[in-house]
Structure 1
Amino acid sequence: MTEKPVALIVLAAGQGSRMQSDLPKVLHRLGGVPLVGHALAAGRSLDPEEVIVVAGHGADQVKKALGKLDPDARIALQEEQLGTAHAVRQAMPLLEGFEGRVIILYGDTPFIGRETLDVLAAHPSDVVVLGFEAADPGRYGRLVTGPNGLERIVEYKDADEATRAIRLVNSGVVAADAATLREFLPMIGNRNAAGEYYLTDLPGLARAAGMRVDVVTCDEAETLGINTRAELASAEAAFQARARAQALEDGVTLSDPATVWFSLDTVIGRDAIVGQNVVFGPGVTVESGAEILPFCHFEGCHISSGATVGPFTRLRPGAELGGDVHVGNFVEIKNSVLDEGVKVGHLTYLGDTHVGERANIGAGTVTCNYDGVSKHKTQIGPHAFIGSDTMLVAPVRVGARAMTGSGSVITEDVPDDALAISRPAQVNKPGLAARLMQALRQKKGN
């Protein structure tokens, strides 16, 4: 927590033409979520009073994505992309009445650390610029500092040789009080080759007015911006390497770390075991002591302690596995709750289903939950036994300790303790198999 209240402005209006995509750049996925989700997740650690996302290109798509990522964030529209200061000006009306520190982030810069944001939020200076020591400063704007803090930001094209030798460069991230932004943003002009309004002019205006302007530094990796598909792929590799290292540090066993893929919000408890080639999509929690066998894909699900899942299991959103549940190979579960001790060995689909404790689901079981228009619920009672190749046509209930015969199509409720069999009676034709095979062989010989 910081002494001053905090607001976030996340700039996400750019097209990202170098991505060669119709999708807004900030919606390209990293760690299972759009790039802008990383900036929002980091910023939310400050417990901000307001979160404003400035959208422009593909604004409707950005707004839709934010409805899932951060429903409390508000949208400011930048209809024309006329520079970073212009973008911030579009957000300021939504901060009317807010008095506190505003931190300006970028939706295509996913790795800003929470510790860095804490420093920006709590810094006493009027304006704070985030900089970093670049291994290759290239064409970044240089930060010229002196005894009184940040003296000026010099763009590469305007820098002399001595200034270009400076390795401290500008990340673009800025923190300033809301009152400071209200005072100086209208003063920023667009007398430059691009005719745009740049946020880099803010520190100079504030300093000229006698305000204190300083630099906070971070690791260069935190400032990595995504502009191309190649950079997105490199960022994904960096994200996965960090996530794997963190999981190992937290006491998770990864049998083959390089083949396990995490999302931004993946949570795995200590002493869990994860086999090779496992993909954790968004919204997955695995409790301590669970074991995930190889070649599984999970999204939006919860796996309790003591559960064993896989290999080749797919858990879709809404799957809730209780303690000591066993789910085996080639099983798909969606929007279903499996109570403690349930066994689903293999080759099964459970959708919109509640399975009571210690029930056993035989191979080839399918809950027929969709009639082409609506989804329907299947209920399987505790200690029930579902025979192999059972079709459960929802809505339907199988009672506690009830059984279904293999190959049955269950269309009506099965009472507690009952055995349900729904299949044609078997008819044996003595000698017919031998005669049939003989006839087929003779026909082939002809």
Structure 2
Amino acid sequence: MAVALIILAAGKGTRMMSDVPKVLHEVAGGSLLVHAMRSGSNLEPERTVVVAGHGAEAVGAATLAYDEDAIVVVQQDQLGTAHAVKQAKDALADFSGDVIILYGDTPFIQSETLDSMLTAGATADVVVLGFQAADPGRYGRLMMDGDALERIIEFKDATDEERMINLCNSGVISAKADVIFDLLDAVSDDNAAGEYYLTDIIGIARAKGLSATVVRCEEAETMGINSRADLAAAEAAFQVRARKDAMANGVSLHAPDTVYFSHDTYIGSDTVVEPNVVFAVGVTVENNATIRAFSHLEGCHVSRGSVVGPYARLRPGTELAENVKVGNFVEIKNAVIEAGAKVNHLSYIGDAHVGERSNIGAGTITCNYDGVSKHRTTIGADVFVGSNTMLVAPVTLGDESMTATGTIVTKNVPEGDMAVGRARQENKPGFARRMLQKFKSNTASAAKEP
């Protein structure tokens, strides 16, 4: 069946105390808006329409960065949720399938829940997502008659008796496109807030003889973000779920509460993650890898059997082939490390290609930046790079070549050659002892002066 998403993302988010539009604040490395778009992406929507308002330019840019086929419309005046949804009417003028209305500040709706709403829509004209609230607070209440939803009443318009109901409205609604927009045309602003409530379409639908029902979900799915405290709570909730999911999928976490995931982190089974590891955006780790303690990974790919850390940093563009070892206090950026290669200690490898089975000695640095441009270093297979080697890019080390410890490499090293580029050592007999005695004498003389 054809599905379209309408995502409401026009709010300013005053309680966030920020110039950033509310939906662009982040949880697990992704904006709230991206989380909302991901919620519906598994439905393979034919169209996604994002209704922007405050910070529309930034919201639109973020929308298209995630989905270049999405449609962005602008709600110029903030006149309520029904008015916001109506802004999508032209974008869906020739669409006749199911429409699901989501919210850019409600990031955790599960795709399985949305599937259930579509299934319920086969026998009901309008489907609302509801939840049993531990503390109903100021949520809108769902007024039921058996399995039929009669109307939704906003908290500010509810009586004391109606406020005792704990089946609450998430705001998520689905219906056929023509049904949604026909009902919206009948919504008025005759209420305590003087706004056009999307929730009014339920009462209007029932008055027209249409059916409405409720699909229930866990309250945690409906968490809305309105403040920094909400944002922190959402981050914590995401991490708890991500850790459980990782372990359920065969990942060993030595200290789960100290490991942090991004919204798009993928880790294969039988991988071991030690304490205090951060997976930033864009990380894939294959099966049977080991990520040791206090490592930070971002925008990288780690193949099976590789070991990273402890205290390693993998930056964007890093590709580790199978059985690579990256050790303590190593930083790698925009580099490919081929199978079996080792970068074990205190090294920086940036804008580089390291061949199979090569060994990068401690303290090696690829000097990739000349102050204006970045340059690449190419290291062949079975190369031994001695400790404290400076590789001044652009430079190439051929297969089975070698650099002596402390060498500064400024030109290519042919296959099988050894590069030595350091000052010749000279020992001066007795010089150290004489200098030390002189320093002591000068210090003693200075101390006697008045």
TM class by smaller structure: over 0.9
- Partner of 1:11 in structure 2? 8
How many residues in Structure 1 have an aligned counterpart in Structure 2?
A: 443
- Over 4 Å off, 4+ runs: none
**Secondary structure of 1:306's partner?**
coil
Q: Deviations over 1:8-67 (max 9, x none)?
A: 111111111101111111111111211111111111010111111111111222223234
**Secondary structure of 1:161's partner?**
coil
1:382 Cα offset (Å): 0.5
Q: Distance in 1 between matches of 2:347 and 2:147?
A: 69
- Partner of 1:260 in structure 2? 259
1:220 Cα offset (Å): 0.9
Give the alignment's Cα RMSD to 1 decimal.
1.4
- Partner of 1:381 in structure 2? 380
- Partner of 2:216 in structure 1? 217
- Partner of 1:441 in structure 2? 440
Q: Deviations over 1:305-328 (max 9, x none)?
A: 111110110111111111110001
1:135-214 correspondence runs (5 A):
135-147=134-146, 149-214=148-213
In structure 2, the gaps of 5 or more residues are: 446-450
**Secondary structure of 1:248's partner?**
helix
In structure 1, what residue type is equivalent to 2:328? N
**Secondary structure of 1:205's partner?**
helix
Q: Deviations over 1:197-221 (max 9, x none)?
A: 2111112222222211111111111
Q: Distance in 2 between matches of 1:63 and 1:422?
A: 54
- Partner of 2:55 in structure 1? 58
1:192 Cα offset (Å): 3.0
1:156 Cα offset (Å): 2.1
Q: Distance in 2 between matches of 1:68 and 1:156?
A: 37
The TM-score, its normalising length taken from structure 2, stands at: 0.95
2:153 touches 2:199 (CA, 8 Å); kept in 1?
Answer: no
Q: Distance in 1 between matches of 2:363 and 2:69?
A: 43
- Partner of 2:97 in structure 1? 100
Q: Distance in 2 between matches of 1:251 and 1:120?
A: 31
Question: Paired residue for 1:42, among 26, 39, 43?
Answer: 39
Q: Distance in 1 between matches of 2:416 and 2:200?
A: 78
1:427 Cα offset (Å): 2.0
In structure 2, what residue type is equivalent to 1:117? L
- Partner of 1:86 in structure 2? 83
The TM-score, its normalising length taken from structure 1, stands at: 0.96
**Secondary structure of 1:204's partner?**
helix
In structure 1, the gaps of 5 or more residues are: none
Q: Distance in 1 between matches of 2:97 and 2:186?
A: 21
In structure 1, what residue type is equivalent to 2:377? T
Q: Distance in 1 between matches of 2:133 and 2:93?
A: 37
**Secondary structure of 2:347's partner?**
strand
Query: In the superposition, relative to structure 1, how do residues 71 and 316 fare at CA in structure 2: closer, same or farther (>3 Å)?
Result: farther
Q: Distance in 1 between matches of 2:172 and 2:64?
A: 25
Question: Paired residue for 1:114, among 111, 115, 132?
Answer: 111
- Partner of 1:323 in structure 2? 322
> 1:310 and 2:309 equivalent?
yes
In structure 2, what residue type is equivalent to 1:195? G
Q: Distance in 1 between matches of 2:413 and 2:15?
A: 60
Q: After the TM superposition, which of the residue ranges 424-433 and 327-336 deviates more from structure 2?
A: 424-433
Q: Distance in 1 between matches of 2:433 and 2:89?
A: 87
In structure 2, what residue type is equivalent to 1:171? S
- Partner of 1:240 in structure 2? 239
1:101 Cα offset (Å): 0.5
- Partner of 1:367 in structure 2? 366
**Secondary structure of 2:89's partner?**
helix
Q: After the TM superposition, which of the residue ranges 178-187 and 19-28 deviates more from structure 2?
A: 178-187
**Secondary structure of 1:196's partner?**
coil
**Secondary structure of 2:170's partner?**
strand
In structure 2, what residue type is equivalent to 1:264? H
Q: Distance in 1 between matches of 2:373 and 2:68?
A: 27
Q: Deviations over 1:57-100 (max 9, x none)?
A: 11222223234333332211122222111111112212221110
Q: Distance in 1 between matches of 2:68 and 2:390?
A: 39
Q: After the TM superposition, which of the residue ranges 85-94 and 11-20 deviates more from structure 2?
A: 85-94
Query: In the superposition, relative to structure 1, how do residues 363 and 67 fare at CA in structure 2: closer, same or farther (>3 Å)?
Result: farther
2:151 touches 2:200 (CA, 8 Å); kept in 1?
Answer: no
1:193 Cα offset (Å): 3.9
> 1:76 and 2:73 equivalent?
yes
Q: Distance in 2 between matches of 1:252 and 1:222?
A: 24
In structure 2, what residue type is equivalent to 1:353? A
1:25-40 correspondence runs (5 A):
25-40=22-37
1:159 Cα offset (Å): 2.3
Q: Distance in 2 between matches of 1:67 and 1:337?
A: 30
In structure 1, what residue type is equivalent to 2:107? P
- Partner of 2:389 in structure 1? 390
1:405 Cα offset (Å): 1.8
Q: Distance in 1 between matches of 2:368 and 2:88?
A: 46
Q: Distance in 2 between matches of 1:165 and 1:214?
A: 20
